[in-house]
């Protein structure tokens, strides 16, 4: 079983407002991310928010630690609930495609251009905990290296919406997703 995790606890500093609630073609980015994972996973959670269109979990061990804290929360929940792996995406990853899970299987693997999009074994939570508690590099790439994850190059890259200009570009391309 695979748990889908939308990492949505960021500050949206480059965006200027809560980008999870920004709309693309009439749907919020957070709703789009949840819907994309619902089609690929057995269940979906949203990490780092109190309210969302799916069950929510707080970052682990605490907020403000970046995407790794969201991923750690998802891995802990997955291990406790009996999921084999977590498929993680950022709230602003648009155009994931129906083949994403196939492209990333078997775990561990991540999208080379956006490492936060990955398929991670639930058993990797202890490794991630140790990384978060260390003085070392706290990045998704450091975690990926620590567990021997493969970097996957997708034929079609998901959009990554960090600024209002990125959102406008996505609207102009009218992904229709």
Q: Is residue 112 part of a domain?
A: yes
Which comes out higher in pLDDT, residue 53 or 160?
A: 53
pLDDT of residue 177: 46
Instruction: Give the pLDDT confidence of 17-58 residue by residue, as tens digits.
Output: 688 888 888 899 999 999 999 989 999 999 999 999 999 999
Q: Is residue 120 part of a domain?
A: yes
Q: What is the CATH number of the domain that holds 152?
A: 3.90.550.10
The domain total for the chain is 1
Asked if 166 and 102 touch (Cβ cutoff 8 Å), the reply is: no
Alpha-carbon dihedral 164, 170, 174, 177, rounded to 10 degrees: -110
Q: Is residue 63 part of a domain?
A: yes
Task: DSSP letter for 46, please.
Answer: E
Tell me whether the omega of the peptide bond preceding residue 61 falls within 30 degrees of 0, making it cis.
yes
Domain that holds residue 26: 2-169
Q: Is residue 177 part of a domain?
A: no
Lowest model confidence (mean pLDDT) among 112-116, 152-156, 158-162: 158-162
Q: Is residue 175 part of a domain?
A: no
The β-bridge partners of 24 are 27
Confidence class for position 176, pLDDT limits 50, 70, 90:
very low
Question: What distance in Å separates the CA atoms of residue 140 and residue 113, rounded to the nearest whole number?
Answer: 12
Q: Is residue 150 part of a domain?
A: yes
* DSSP one-letter string for 103-172: HHPSSSEEETTEEEEEEEEGGGHHHHHHHHHSSS--SHHHHHHHTTPEEE--SSPPEE--SHHHHHHHHH
Task: DSSP letter for 83, please.
Answer: -
């Amino acid at each position: 079983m695979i748990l889908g995790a939308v990492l949505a606890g960021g500050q949206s500093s480059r965006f200027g407002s809560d980008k999870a609630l920004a709309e693309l073609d009439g749907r919020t980015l957070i709703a789009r991310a949840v819907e994309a994972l619902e089609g690929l996973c057995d269940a979906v959670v949203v990490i780092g928010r109190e309210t969302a269109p799916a069950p929510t979990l707080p970052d682990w061990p605490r907020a403000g630690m970046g995407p790794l804290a969201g991923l750690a929360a998802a891995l802990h929940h997955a291990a406790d609930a009996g999921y084999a792996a977590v498929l993680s995406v950022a709230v602003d990853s648009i155009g994931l495609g129906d083949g994403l899970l196939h492209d990333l299987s078997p775990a561990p693997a991540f999208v080379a251009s956006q490492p936060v999009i990955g398929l991670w074994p639930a058993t990797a939570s202890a490794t991630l905990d140790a990384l978060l508690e260390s003085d070392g590099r706290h990045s998704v790439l450091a975690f990926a290296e620590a567990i021997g994850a493969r970097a996957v190059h997708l034929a079609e890259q998901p959009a990554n919406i960090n600024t209002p200009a990125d959102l406008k570009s996505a609207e102009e391309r009218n992904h229709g997703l």
